[in-house]
Chains A and B, each alone.
Chain A
Amino acid sequence: MTEERGASSSQSTPDQETRASTMAPDSVQAPATRPRERRAPRISETPPPPAPPPALQDYAPIIGKSQLNELYFLATAVRGKTVKMVNSTAVGGGVAEMLNRLVPLLSELEVHTKWDVITGGNDFFEVTKSFHNALHGGDYMLTQAARDVFLRHNELNRERMSFDEDIVVIHDPQPAGLIASKKDHRAHWVWRCHIDLSNPNPQVWEFLQPFIAQYDAAIFSSQAFARRLPIPQYLFYPCIDPLSEKNKDLEESYVQQVCDNFGVDRSRPIVTQISRFDRLKDPLGVIQAYKMAKKYVDFQLVLAGGGASDDPEGVAVLKEVREVIDDDPDVIILDLPPWSALEINALQRASTLVVQKSLREGFGLTVTEALWKGKPTIGSAVGGIPTQIIDRITGVLVHSVEGCAYQIRYLLTHPEFAQQLGRNGREHVKENFLMTTNVRRWLLLFRILFGLTASPSSSLG
């Protein structure tokens, strides 16, 4: 379970494409430069078959041969070692998405990596869902019954699973109790926490902390999520795969086709926010900012995402969004199915600016995606966004609707500055937030666990 879900990971239904196609009423007088009629977006009604995972060599044109060679070198010391990754779900969510790419890449480097998923009944996943929310700071009363459910299912999984590998990596709190098997095996145990622990419910954290303290190391996605623990804690930023459908390079003709399908006019500036229709993503705030900025500069606003079919609140938010845009033909609302990665990629690439005006955020991988595409990006100073957006260097941070509106105006009228932000943003992602960077982090961690690295504190003097 993770706090980070991309716009396309929510459940929705194929009939949404009809809704997306009926956004712009024919009665609205469109400017001469944009298509008068929005055509039906051609999105498949069913998910396409998954593409085969890329091989390491496929990343060479992106990160360079020297950095790829570095991965091969780092792997030599741990070649032949075995690793088991354990999480709570095989599909859906950021962790499964990440493991789908990480496991084959590590195996290609001859660090033989398996991925196992714990099982549990509804009672277990209800408890762990409550733990998840409580660890994010929500109110929760931890009962003995909940403790028992958590412990019983971890015990059942412990009996079912083997831990004969050299390294066992447990993802998130659900399987954390598997650490009880550590005493019977030679493996090094690592806890990889993907959730925000900066303000956890004390009862739940105090319950989990004794388990975590038995691991050999813990990994967090932000310095702010680290806790007081008697074990080393490492920083692994969430990452994107530059070769995934959502991030790979696209033919210009395809980008144009998607824009044509959605009625987005590429001859005029396009400002885009990609995110679920969720209050915490503040789509209404983005529309307010659009209205303020539109008095000064001409542009279109695209709000694209999913999540409005399975989530009652999403439906309500989408309805409100449609009401406040008041048939404005320059606001394009796209409620997309979860398998729209290519379309989202195309929309991001077609954008002049990307906005992520969240009120709260995990890491904000949609920001990473935009920066990777070299887009000048305006983001709220919340969650992991300031880690990615160094204000006025790799993007612009804002704290209000007014700030967002001003920065839209400024960046649209200062394209050279905006382009420099885009260039810096892409470099920042390349250095810190790519899948290959995380492969490097895992290899370094494995070496550290086997005592195969020296800290600068001992060598620099």
Chain B
Amino acid sequence: MAATAEEITSRIAKAPFEFKSATHLLRIEAERSSTLGELLRDLNTCPDASIFQHTFRTLQEHHFIKEGFSNDFAHWAYTECGAVGLGERLAAIDVREFTAIADLRARLETVVEDYLQLNPQSRDHLAEHPFYFCSAESVVTPTEIKATNMAEFVQGLRAVSIHSIHYHFIEARLRRHLETNDFSIWLKRDLGMNEAAVRLNKIDIYTATLEGVRRQIARILEGAVS
């Protein structure tokens, strides 16, 4: 039988949720692509941290945007190469489907390769500006905000920086190698909020700003006990 709102509100978590964040420094890598053919080559050889930077991390850097392309490769293909179809296909890649950088890299390569097979004339077409590969060097930072029940969790969720939301809600799957996020895992495991945990995972991060995502999470949790 499902727990009542009162039961959920009064539950004390088995272990507190400790809000953390991550901060990053951008390193400029050697790879720079001037054509789509070169992009394919460099996608194959660039460091894992570059794939992370241009897909996951760019969502944090541009957390205030809810329209346009969702990763740097898609944006470059569209704006600098004029490859609209490729831009759309790259933009359709949802980073939340990936729990390992290797798989995400392989998907990116496949999409570019397929496009170039269908559009061989695009392979050596010079882009307006090159794509410069960067990578992120990261430090995980504590926030001193902890939650032992749902009310504290929602309070903490509202207080932490947007970087913390990115760290727990988006980056988490690479750390955990699971198609979920830190919030859902804790809510399910420590507070027994299974349904809310599932609903959180369905939030569309590509059509909302990260502030919007934060609000949606709070709404779902508050809805679960109202």
Binding site for B on A (CB under 8 A): 64, 66-67, 69-70, 73-74, 220, 223-224, 226, 228, 232-235, 386, 390-393, 423-424, 427-428, 431-432, 440-441, 444-445, 447-448, 452-457, 459-461
Contacts and interface: CB of A to CB of B under 8 A. Distances in A.
B26 A228 contact: no
B62 to A, nearest CB: 8
B56 to A, nearest CB: 9
A452 to B, nearest CB: 8
B130 to A, nearest CB: 8
B26 A235 contact: yes
A232 B29 CA distance: 8
B177 A448 contact: no
B57 to A, nearest CB: 8
Residue picked from B27, B67, B130, B144, most chain A C-beta under 10 Å: B27
A441 B62 CA distance: 18
A69 B101 contact: no
A62 B223 CA distance: 31
A286 B144 CA distance: 51
Contacts of B142: 73
Nearest to B79: A391
A69 B144 contact: yes
Contacts of A391: 79
A456 B161 contact: no
B101 A460 contact: yes
Contacts of A392: 68
7 closest cross-chain pairs (CB), A and B: A223-B132, A427-B64, A457-B49, A66-B161, A444-B25, A235-B26, A457-B48
A444 B137 contact: yes
Contact of A70 (B49, B63, B161): B161
A460 B52 contact: yes
A67 B47 CA distance: 28
A430 to B, nearest CB: 9
A50 B135 CA distance: 39
Interface of B: 21, 23-28, 30, 32, 47-49, 52, 61-65, 67-68, 79, 100-101, 129-130, 132, 134-139, 141-144, 159-161, 163-164, 174-175, 177
B48 A460 contact: yes
Main secondary structure of the interface of B (DSSP, over half): mixed
Contact of A234 (B25, B49, B61, B138): B25
Given A70-B21, A460-B48, A220 B139 contact: no
Contact of A461 (B61, B64, B177): B177
Nearest to A228: B30
23 contacts: A66-B160, A66-B161, A67-B161, A70-B21, A74-B139, A224-B130, A233-B28, A234-B27, A427-B63, A431-B61, A431-B63, A432-B61, A440-B23, A441-B25, A444-B23, A444-B24, A444-B137, A445-B25, A453-B137, A456-B52, A459-B138, A460-B48, A460-B101
Given A66-B161, A235-B26, A460-B175, A455 B64 contact: no
Given A393-B65, A456-B174, 16 more contacts: A66-B161, A66-B164, A74-B23, A74-B139, A223-B28, A224-B132, A234-B27, A235-B28, A448-B137, A452-B139, A455-B136, A455-B138, A456-B52, A459-B138, A460-B174, A461-B100
B135 A455 contact: yes
A385 B135 CA distance: 22
Contacts, number: 115
A457 B24 CA distance: 13
A73 B25 contact: no
B214 to A, nearest CB: 12
Contact of A431 (B49, B64, B100): B64
Contacts of A441: 25
Contacts of B68: 390, 392-393
A236 B101 CA distance: 25
A73 B141 contact: yes
Contacts of B130: 224
A226 B48 CA distance: 20
B28 A226 contact: yes
B25 A448 contact: yes
A69 B143 contact: yes
A368 B106 CA distance: 37
A447 B135 CA distance: 16
Contacts of A455: 49, 135-138
A223 B30 contact: no
Contacts of B174: 456, 460-461
Contacts of B25: 234, 441, 444-445, 448, 453
Contacts of B135: 455-457
